[in-house]
Structure 1
Amino acid sequence: MFDERELSNPCSSWMHCNTLICLGDVLSLHAFLGKVVVQELCRRQLQNLLPDHKILLLIRPSKDKTAAERFTRITKAICFSKLEDTWQDLVQVIEGDLCTPDLGLQRDVYADLARRVTHIIHCAASIDFDLPLQEATRSNVDTSMNILELARKCPNLRQLVDTSTAYVSTCQEGTIAEELAPIPMNMSPSQLHYSIQKGLIDEAELLASSGHANTYTVTKCLSEHLLFEEYGNVPVTVVRPSIISAAQEYPFPGYIDSYAAMGGFISLFGSGFLHVIEGDPTASFDVVPVDFVASRIIEESQLAVYSEDRQTSTRKGSFKLVHCVAGLKHSISTPDFRRIGLDYFANVKSTRKPFWAYTGPRDWRYYWYKWTSQTIPLQLATWFFAAIQNKAMSKQMTIIKRGIEKVDATFPYFCLHTFDFATERRIDGGFASIEYIRVMIQGVHRHLLRRELYVE
């Protein structure tokens, strides 16, 4: 999928690099992209496709586990199962918290980190679309600002890569350019940030005035503006992926461990619980394999061109926005997705065979099909399992209902329109969207519905 020939010429002039990867919660579903970035950095280094470098992995501890203990658990993830056993030697775990000043590190640890770091890749974020505004701001804005503050203090820094989303733009007509989207509320970015932090902004009013459908995209939009406003002498590249889904090639075809976006949609559809969606039945949606996004992030980090003949003392700041998308030509059409999905799951042994009832506007037909094919059967099942005191299945029904509610709240934004993202670097010409639909569906079936996620 990716042409690595241009990266496969290691030379003795490469200096030792220290790449800081910011993941946050490595065991959360939101670290899907981050894990693949780490996997790709390790794979390429082990195959001499990148210079020798140490991966400094910033992980937040949980209530009962240290960052090191959480990393030990994640090393068993199948994402890393194809790597040589020595891959863990390339990684150093740092316990910290991106949401706090100085990343939650002791002063001497923070200073040492700043001295060592040559490249920063920021993959941590919350992709929960329904987070309260202040919480979404802490996860998606404050983290980027704290990373930028660290970057300013890194004398050897060559590149900071921040991960955003292509959906920061609310434009739904024409081509969406690789440029900053309008900032909402007629405020400067810093004023808006301050007002949100102090609870002075009403969430509903902000979303209504901006055209954003959720707090995730509006806070990512604000984060981009603040990075542009404050980058100073830091070289910053913001990578904007569209909808990230299963791997096409690395670590292996179909790899996925996240119920976010397509993962949750396909899981509910394939297990026979989701039959209705508000959307345009002719629309296409832009979906990119996670390994394509990871490759673009690594490319933008400038790791492959790191050499000792570049002088850090003359470092100049820069700011660049890049889309990481499939493009209209390779977008997935709703009819193709529905047809291939139904064909695949029809041959899977299951107590519930999937079927599709309705895609269209939220009118009487939408509510009729939703109630008759989803709501009433699911509620009857919930009552039945409660009556026979099957706690496991009752819990499962609750999870399914919440999943459907989340799809109902978030997916229409992506299904009602066909987005056209401008970019100079579209997905490879050999990419076939029809085949990728099959890869994606097979991956969800194997890794999410059958839960093949860890090597025990």
Structure 2
Amino acid sequence: MACFWTSDRSTKKLEAQGNMSSIAAYYNGKSILVTGATGFMGKVLVEKLLRSSPDVKTIYILVRPKAGQSMQERVVDMVKCKVFDRVREEWPDFQEKIKPINAELTQPNLAIAPEDVQELLSEVNVVFHCAATVRFDEPLKHALLLNVMGTQQLLVLARQMQKLEAFIHLSTAYANCNRRYIEEVVYPPPVEPKKLFDLVEWMDESLIKEITPKLIRDWPNTYTFTKALTEYLVQQEKGNLNAAIIRPSIVGASWQEPFPGWVDNFNGTSGLLIAAGKGIIRTIKCDTGAVADIIPVDVAINLTLAAGWYTAVHRPKSLLVYHCTTGGINPFCWGEMEYYAMSTYKRNPLEKAFRIPSANMTSSYLMYQYWTAVSHKAPAFLYDLYLRLTGRKPRMMKIFNRLHKSMTLFEYFTSRTWEWSSENTNMLMNQLSPKDKKVFCFDVRQLHWSEYIENFCLGTKKYVLNEDMAGIPAAKQHLRKLRNIQYALNTTLLVIIWRIFIARSQMAQNIWYFVVNLCYKFLNYFRASSTLGH
């Protein structure tokens, strides 16, 4: 990809003229509002905007204080993130383009200060709404506040923006996962969002929790349910806004940009990969033949930016929905994922692994329960017992229980395959010039899964766990020690089983003594050979 920032700004602009994609050129001079900018997808969106459109006027980001951090502290942490390293090299003062706005999506009028509201209303050209809670087990009331009511508040603000050209909402391909074939349309929800708002407003939290399964019906969790409600709300309340909805599937590490394998969190697939790479989990309930519909984060962001350009420039008559998936175009199964991931972690092991990386995927409930007891609970219990005996705090059972909960929530998506239509996405791709297709690539037919999964696994090592690749020899040595310990334990267990349960007859004892005597003779032979050799 071409770089447009040099030490000489005027030279840079001359070089960029005539060599820039139509999409990148569109965002130059524009003021962009991004919600969820401190999140995984939000950071990639901001980075790509800064790198591809160097003359973007301002990127406003809505930020709230969180986990004891002020808005300013969260922004400082964000710009220090490794995802901005390429931008930092080309333009060290890139953060000057980013203007944080203190906001809270769950509060009336987003709790934005009046002077900031006026600036947004008079300046913003494009809104990218990425903010949402992505927790599958989020209490329904909180999920409604963040995902649905927060979007409603943002739409109220957006409809007043004087220069707004496009409103782009990031949803999920699983918003309608209760259907097997999903079209690029907004489906009517099972209940009107406003009626649900009224219901949860006065109802006690414990009562809401009790009736949540009935309210969400055949949706697997509050996340997908509230995303479906939000899409309907955007369609109903967008007014005269030029709007579009992007539906990515399971968002994974980057494919190419800003560098292969970048990922910064333990959510979803990356958390399971790390747990398997560490040897903490050995079995997963999953249909190995089901499609693992993973979409690289940079592909999702390229499609989002392209849709923003198309919505603003071509002004479609109706709201368009774009599916950002791989299953129907370049399918890849969970069984293949297991193979590529385990082979990568054995060649490039994670540091201080609990056990040798190994994963067993099964769709059988009984087999899953068996392997969970044998491969997870028993080793975790024994390790915690060892920690107690050595005066340390037990932790492995706690880690396993947390992982087991995550795997249970994720199981719905690893045991099914969906079909998504892609007419709008194909139409958008056809609207792109050759330069646009290169700079804002979202053609997943070019994706090689073996290479991508290897980079994904290496990304979890380098960017999530912050492990140095120079430490791989030491990590391999650690795996060899674990392998020797495993052989010793297995041998000891076999001996105990033989002595207690099998060696009751005279014949069994004779066989036992014969094997031991044979082993002793072999040892003496090799010892004698070694002595003669010296």
TM-score, normalization: structure 2?
Answer: 0.74
Partner residue, 2:225: 218
Of 379, 382, 385, which residue of structure 1 is paired with 2:384? 382
Partner residue, 1:373: 375
Residue 99 of structure 1 contacts residue 143 of structure 1 at CA under 8 Å; is this kept in 2?
Answer: yes
Taking the aligned partners of 1:205 and 1:159, their CA distance within structure 2 comes to: 38
**What is the one-letter code of the residue matched to 2:336?**
D
Partner residue, 1:21: 34
3-state SS of 2:93 partner: helix
Q: How many angstroms does 1:23 deviate by?
A: 1.6
Q: How many angstroms does 1:6 deviate by?
A: 9.5
Q: How many angstroms does 1:446 deviate by?
A: 2.1
Of 287, 301, 304, which residue of structure 2 is paired with 1:280? 287
Partner residue, 1:416: 415
Taking the aligned partners of 1:21 and 1:439, their CA distance within structure 2 comes to: 28
Taking the aligned partners of 2:317 and 2:142, their CA distance within structure 1 comes to: 30
Q: How many angstroms does 1:194 deviate by?
A: 2.6
- Following superposition of structure 1 onto structure 2, how do residues 212-251 of structure 1 map, counting pairs within 5 Å? 212-251=219-258
How far does the alpha carbon of each residue in 1:220-244 deviate from its partner, in whole angstroms, 9 at most, with x for none? Answer: 1111111112111122211111000
Partner residue, 1:56: 60
Taking the aligned partners of 1:110 and 1:353, their CA distance within structure 2 comes to: 55
How far does the alpha carbon of each residue in 1:55-110 deviate from its partner, in whole angstroms, 9 at most, with x for none? Answer: 01111123643312221122111010111213112111112112212221122321
Partner residue, 2:452: 436
**What is the one-letter code of the residue matched to 1:42?**
L
Instruction: Say if 2:98 is the partner of 1:98.
Output: no
**What is the one-letter code of the residue matched to 2:420?**
F
Of 258, 268, 271, which residue of structure 2 is paired with 1:264? 271
Q: How many angstroms does 1:400 deviate by?
A: 4.4
Partner residue, 2:42: 34
Partner residue, 2:526: none
**What is the one-letter code of the residue matched to 2:390?**
I
Taking the aligned partners of 1:317 and 1:115, their CA distance within structure 2 comes to: 25
Moved more, 370-379 or 240-249: 370-379
Partner residue, 2:359: 356
- Following superposition of structure 1 onto structure 2, how do residues 148-227 of structure 1 map, counting pairs within 5 Å? 148-173=155-180, 175-184=181-190, 187-199=191-203, 202-203=208-209, 205-208=211-214, 210-227=217-234
How far does the alpha carbon of each residue in 1:399-444 deviate from its partner, in whole angstroms, 9 at most, with x for none? Answer: 443123212x212111111121111336523122232222212212
Taking the aligned partners of 2:320 and 2:179, their CA distance within structure 1 comes to: 22
3-state SS of 2:368 partner: helix
Taking the aligned partners of 1:243 and 1:288, their CA distance within structure 2 comes to: 6
Moved more, 126-135 or 14-23: 14-23
Of 79, 85, 89, which residue of structure 2 is paired with 1:81? 85
**What is the one-letter code of the residue matched to 1:20?**
L
Q: How many angstroms does 1:115 deviate by?
A: 1.6
Which has the larger share of strand? 1
Q: Which runs of 5+ in 1 are unaligned?
A: none
Taking the aligned partners of 2:257 and 2:263, their CA distance within structure 1 comes to: 11
Shift in CA distance, 327/316, structure 1 to aligned 2, threshold 3 Å:
closer
3-state SS of 1:81 partner: helix
Over alpha carbons, which structure has the higher Rg? 2
Which has the larger share of helix? 2
Residue 99 of structure 1 contacts residue 138 of structure 1 at CA under 8 Å; is this kept in 2?
Answer: yes
Shift in CA distance, 330/250, structure 1 to aligned 2, threshold 3 Å:
same
- Give the aligned CA root-mean-square deviation in angstroms: 2.9
Q: How many angstroms does 1:156 deviate by?
A: 0.8
Taking the aligned partners of 1:316 and 1:365, their CA distance within structure 2 comes to: 52
**What is the one-letter code of the residue matched to 1:353?**
I
Q: How many angstroms does 1:202 deviate by?
A: 4.2
How far does the alpha carbon of each residue in 1:102-141 deviate from its partner, in whole angstroms, 9 at most, with x for none? Answer: 2211223212221211111111111111111101111211
Taking the aligned partners of 1:203 and 1:7, their CA distance within structure 2 comes to: 52
Taking the aligned partners of 1:235 and 1:19, their CA distance within structure 2 comes to: 15
Instruction: Say if 2:133 is the partner of 1:133.
Output: no
Q: Which runs of 5+ in 2 are unaligned?
A: 3-15, 427-441, 469-534
Taking the aligned partners of 1:54 and 1:210, their CA distance within structure 2 comes to: 43
Of 457, 462, 481, which residue of structure 2 is paired with 1:446? 462
Fraction of identical pairs, as percent: 26
Give the aligned length.
428
Residue 21 of structure 1 contacts residue 58 of structure 1 at CA under 8 Å; is this kept in 2?
Answer: yes
**What is the one-letter code of the residue matched to 1:111?**
Q
Taking the aligned partners of 2:135 and 2:19, their CA distance within structure 1 comes to: 37
Moved more, 321-330 or 253-262: 321-330
Moved more, 83-92 or 249-258: 83-92
Structure scoring higher RCO (CA < 8 A, sep ≥ 6) equals 1
- Following superposition of structure 1 onto structure 2, how do residues 67-78 of structure 1 map, counting pairs within 5 Å? 67-78=71-82
**What is the one-letter code of the residue matched to 1:374?**
H
Shift in CA distance, 358/105, structure 1 to aligned 2, threshold 3 Å:
closer
Shift in CA distance, 7/180, structure 1 to aligned 2, threshold 3 Å:
farther
TM-score, normalization: structure 1?
Answer: 0.86
Taking the aligned partners of 2:389 and 2:150, their CA distance within structure 1 comes to: 46
Shift in CA distance, 96/332, structure 1 to aligned 2, threshold 3 Å:
same
Q: How many angstroms does 1:389 deviate by?
A: 3.1
Residue 207 of structure 1 contacts residue 218 of structure 1 at CA under 8 Å; is this kept in 2?
Answer: no
Instruction: Say if 2:120 is the partner of 1:117.
Output: no
Residue 119 of structure 1 contacts residue 301 of structure 1 at CA under 8 Å; is this kept in 2?
Answer: yes
Taking the aligned partners of 1:341 and 1:433, their CA distance within structure 2 comes to: 11
Residue 158 of structure 1 contacts residue 302 of structure 1 at CA under 8 Å; is this kept in 2?
Answer: no
Shift in CA distance, 11/335, structure 1 to aligned 2, threshold 3 Å:
closer
